[in-house]
Each structure stands twice: as C-alpha cells, then as structure tokens.
Amino acid sequence: MMETLANIIGLAGSAAVLAAYLLLQLGRLGRTNPGFLLLNLFGAAGILFSLAFAFNLPATLIEAVWVAISGYGIIRYLLRRRSAS
C-alpha cells in the first residue's frame, strides 16, 4: 500500500518537473518565477520521497541537489522581493 502511494507521489513529482520545464520552454514561466521554482522543488521532493521506497543512489543524489537548488532559488526570490519593498 505504502509503495503504491510512493509511486503515485513520485509520478506526480515527475509530472511537476516536466511541467516546469515545458512551461519554461514555452515562455510561460521564467527561470526565476516562483511558480517554476516551486514546481521544481515539489517535483524533486516527490521523486525523492518515492526513492525512499526504491532506493537508487544516483537518482537520490540528483533529486536532493535539485531540491537544494530550487530552495536556494526560492530564498533568493523572497530576499529580493523583501528588499524591493
């Protein structure tokens, strides 16, 4: 049961990352847009969650770094927004 839930969350995460990339390529989201950053953050986190049930070191490392980079982008966005106020 939990493995099925992990797969669903992982698939949703994959869809979020792919949607972010598609929207970037279509010019609908910019690379510093919070929507793009959040899609990447939640997408990578979903994939990372699924990897806890079917561990794969290379995939885990890339998703963990993806979460960290997306988190960094969100923090930069929030700090820029705060200083502009």
pLDDT digits (tens, 9 = 90+) for 30-63: 999 999 999 999 999 999 999 999 999 999 999 9
Q: Where do runs of H (alpha helix) occur along 1-56?
A: 2-25, 34-51
User: How much of the chain exceeds pLDDT 90, in percent?
Assistant: 95
Distance of alpha carbon 74 from alpha carbon 10, whole angstroms: 22
| Model confidence, pTM | 0.92
Task: For 31, list phi and psi in degrees, rounded to 5.
Answer: -70, -20
Query: Using CA atoms, how far apart are residues 32 and 81, in angstroms rounded to an integer?
Result: 12
Q: What is the mean pLDDT of the chain?
A: 97
Tokens of 45: 């986190």
Confidence (pLDDT) at 85: 82
pLDDT at 47: 98
Q: Which pLDDT value is given to residue 15?
A: 98
